[in-house]
Amino acid sequence: MSKIATEAKMAQWYTEYRAFPFFAERSAEVRGRFTNLSTKILVAGCGPGYLLKELADLGYTDVWGCDASAWAKTQAAGVLSSNLASRVITADITNRTQLASLRSTAGLTGNQKFPLIITEDVLPAMDNLTEVSTALTELRRIGTTLFHIITCSDRPAERDGDFLWLTQAQWKATVGSDWMLNTETGEVITN
């Protein structure tokens, strides 16, 4: 599990976290590309669930979230409707057992997968590329299409050390054929 996802780090980093306008922008970006409103969506690294709320507000009817921190689940109860808050699950995306439980809780059986998984800036919060690779492997096991929201950096060496700072090209090479939204430029890189 990422060092950022520890309970102490969550409380430190996200004390000022709120429903920023970019959540609506990101959900509109998803809506423009994935138009089936009944698509079962998982937002991995959902925090308190602001992106889930925006997706639900756009009409998506089967939205789920997971975060490695129990803090996120607690915060979701104060941010989301009770129905939507109940769909935020504490699960580490590098843990196959926890993801299998999440998949089952979301009503997926047999070989069914989430048609769409959105990672919400969770990959840069990983400790290293090995952990990122593990997360991608596990998410691909339970999801058909992955859409990564990633903060890229043109000058990684100048950024703080709590995040895994990579350039857009480095992140695209890492996520391969998956979709990717660079939060710094707003550019969506398709497969």
Instruction: Spell 20-29 as b/e; 16+ CB within 10 A means b.
Output: eeebbebbeb
Measure Cα distances from 52 to 30, 44, 66, 76, 82 in Å: 11, 10, 10, 10, 13
In whole angstroms, give the CA distance from residue 153 to residue 65: 26
Q: Which pLDDT score is estimated for 157?
A: 61
Q: Which pLDDT score is estimated for 136?
A: 98
Tens-digit pLDDT string for the chain (191 aa): 455 555 555 555 556 665 667 789 889 989 988 989 899 999 999 988 999 999 999 999 999 999 998 888 888 998 899 999 999 999 999 999 999 999 999 999 999 999 999 998 899 988 899 999 999 999 999 999 999 999 888 765 655 667 788 889 999 999 999 999 888 888 888 76
User: Who's near 19: CB < 8 A, 6+ residues apart?
Assistant: 50, 53, 79
Q: Which pLDDT score is estimated for 26?
A: 86
pTM of the shown model: 0.89
Q: Which pLDDT score is estimated for 18?
A: 54
In whole angstroms, give the CA distance from residue 38 to residue 45: 21
Residue from 134, 127, 130, 132 nearest 148 by CA: 132
Q: Are 143 and 117 in contact (CB under 8 A)?
A: yes
Q: Which pLDDT score is estimated for 15?
A: 60
